[in-house]
Structure formats: structure tokens, C-alpha cells
Amino acid sequence: MTKIFNKLLLASATICLTSNLTFAQETTCYKNEVEKPSLIEDVTLDGGICGGKLSLNQMKNDGWDILDIKITTSQNKFNYTYYFTKGENKKLSLDEETTTTSNKEFSIKPLGIKIDNIANNKSTINVGNLIVGQTGVVVHIFDNDKKLIVSNAKVISSNSTSSVVEFFKFEDLKQNAIPTSKREVVNNDMLILNYMYNSSLLITPTLDAFQTVRDNFKLNNFVHSDIFAARLKVDHNPYPTKEDIQNFAIEQNLGTIFMVIENRVYVIDTKTFTILANYSVSYEKNGSTMPFYTRIENIEETIFSWSYFDFFSGKGSMSYNDYYKRILGIK
């Protein structure tokens, strides 16, 4: 499985984030020749801290998180290697204006959960305090160690102990020249929440805001806004809509969109456009530009496009902050 498990680091005087940091511990445990995937959670793991005494469930109960999983097969049996980490989780103190519930925490760290029940295209998972609108993908692992993303998934409800996810079609890498699978989600498939949350589009009003966010979310891979601006220039579209932003981010296989509006940076799920979290941010506000900070100049509309008439309906005279407030539906 592609190694997408990264940790979120937030450290700066310019972005006002409150976090509780502890030093991380890491260990690697493994188990070879497992007959069935359903057995792996309860058998004792070898190596590292596990030392033939602790199972996967016991490691989780002891506060260890899975950073990555490597699965191989040999003679119809499975070999598992788990990379664990403990103590590095940053509990971000989201202020009261955030759209997330106060006891629900945002993280870009992927979370792997085995699907063990399906009803009406939904599944209940034993993970609580998730954010409604949070997304992930479902991966099927074949006997020959091949893997296939079979579905998207989104959180539709969550309480302190469990959550319900709903499955929807995976079209992120849509290509008409390549056949698509009709496989549906089945029990024992793996749900990966927060898939690609560390890959992001960044929209800001100024260069200083752009640099401030990048400096403080160092482990996020930000696609430069110039790439999005180049697309808008080709399309003669100086006023990107919610759909334009969302479609571009999905095409680029980005999990989140970071958008700076006034004194806040909003973190948005690409597929549901849900605001996952928002934080205070300080930056030099002089020189705000539309449609956003970019080195691509002269993004002009054409009279042959319907967007040309938006200027006369007021869109063309809106400020950066007012424009993106309208897109996010905030006041």
C-alpha cells in the first residue's frame, strides 16, 4: 500500500494554534504466515515492542497508532508488517468559531479501519468523534497482494464511540481510455480515512499569507496556486466557482483545500467541501488580489462565456474576502 501516512506539524508565531506536543515513539512489529486476514488483529505480533506478547488490538488499546502497513503473500499465507507511532498526536485547540464540534479533532493522519459490516451502502465503524463530511477510500486487497481502491467513503454521523460512513463512487482518477472496476465494498476491505489529506490546494489573498500557511503546515504538500491559475487562464475564468475549485483539486488527487479568508485559514475536504477546521492566522494584508495570489497575470474572461455576464451581476466587483465567503457559505 502506498505510503501516505504522514504526521501533522504546526509550529509558528504567526498562526495562533494551541497544541499539546509530546515526543513520538516508533516501533515496527510483524507477523508472518497468517492464514486469514481476519485473524491478524488478535494474534500476537513479533519484533519491536510487541515482542511476541502484544496483538494489534492490544497495541491500539495502549495508545499506539498505525503509521503504515505492509502486506505480502507467500504460499497463500499473509505476512504483515506494522509501523507504529505513539505520543506524536497533536491535539489542535480549535477555537469556538470552527465548524467542527468542540470534542472532535481534525488530523491529516490517515486512519485504517477494517470493514466488518455493511447495510444499505453504509458501515458502522468503532471510531468516534469524527467530523461529518470527513472522507476516505476503501481498499480491497487481493490474494496476490494486489490492491484496488473500490469506493470513496464519507462520515455521515458520529458520536463518542462510533461513526457511520457512507460509500460513494470513486472517480478521482477517471480516464475514459482505462476500464473501471465494478467491484463493490465487502467485509474485510480496508477503510482509509483522511486519504491524501496531506496533499492540498492553497488559496490565499497575498504572497505573505501564502508563505505563512506553507511555513506552518510543513508536512502538507501544497500544489502551487500558479497551476490552478494557469488552468483558469486557459479557460478564461477569473472567478472560479466552488465546482471549479473542487474539480481541480479532485483531478490533482488532492485531499484538502486550504483557503485564507480575512484572519482565518479554513481546511476543507475536497470531495464533500466540508470545513474540517479553521485557525487564526496573521499576515500582511496589503496587496490582496483576485482570484487569489498567483504569479499568473491577466486571467481574463471572454465575452463568449456565461461568466462574462457575472461582472454585471456584481461578482466582478466583489473583494477577495467577500467572494470566498460566498463560496464557503460563511458570514
- H or E element: which one contains 122? strand 122-125
**Alpha-carbon distance 172 to 179, whole Å?**
14
pLDDT at 157 over 70: yes
**Alpha-carbon distance 58 to 63, whole Å?**
9
- What fold is seen in the domain 111-193? Thrombin, subunit H (2.40.10)
> Where exactly are the structural domains of the chain?
22-89, 111-193, 199-328
**Alpha-carbon distance 198 to 179, whole Å?**
28
DSSP string, 49-105: TTTTT-BHHHHHHTT-EEEEEEEEEETTEEEEEEEEEES-----B--TT-SS-TT--
Segment among 50-64, 167-181, 185-199, 261-275 with least mean pLDDT: 167-181
**Alpha-carbon distance 290 to 310, whole Å?**
15
Question: What pLDDT, on a 0 to 100 scale, did the predictor assign at position 84?
Answer: 82
User: 132-171 burial, b for 16+ CB within 10 Å, e for fewer?
Assistant: bbbbbbbbbbeeeeeeebbbbbbbeebeeeebbbebeebe
Higher-pLDDT residue of 83, 112? 112
Range among 28-42, 68-82, 104-118, 262-276 with highest mean pLDDT value: 262-276
Task: Please enumerate in sequence order all residues whose Cβ is within 8 A of that of 89, keeping only pairs 6 or more positions apart, or say none.
Answer: 65, 107, 109
Question: What pLDDT, on a 0 to 100 scale, did the predictor assign at position 95?
Answer: 40
pLDDT at 181 over 90: no
**Alpha-carbon distance 31 to 82, whole Å?**
9
For residue 72, with 0-12 CB atoms within 10 Å meaning exposed, 13-18 middle and 19 or more buried, which class applies? exposed
pLDDT at 13 over 50: no
Q: Look up residue 17 and give its three cell numbers.
A: 494554534
Mean pLDDT score of the chain: 82
**Alpha-carbon distance 133 to 155, whole Å?**
5
Question: What pLDDT, on a 0 to 100 scale, did the predictor assign at position 67?
Answer: 67
Q: Write out pLDDT tens, residues 199-257.
A: 999 999 999 999 999 988 988 999 999 999 999 999 999 999 999 999 999 999 999 99
Mean pLDDT of all residues in 155-184: 87
Amino acid identity for residue 142 in this structure: F
Segment among 89-93, 129-133, 207-211 with least mean pLDDT: 89-93
User: 301-317 burial, b for 16+ CB within 10 Å, e for fewer?
Assistant: beeeeebeebeeeebbe
Question: What pLDDT, on a 0 to 100 scale, did the predictor assign at position 291?
Answer: 93
Instruction: Quote the DSSP letter at residue 130.
Output: P
Q: Look up residue 96 and give its three cell numbers.
A: 469556538
The answer to whether the beta carbons of residues 189 and 140 sit under 8 Å apart is: yes
Q: What percent of the chain has pLDDT over 90?
A: 54
Q: Write out pLDDT tens, residues 34-50.
A: 887 778 888 999 999 99
Q: Look up residue 90 and give its three cell numbers.
A: 497533536
Higher-pLDDT residue of 309, 152? 152
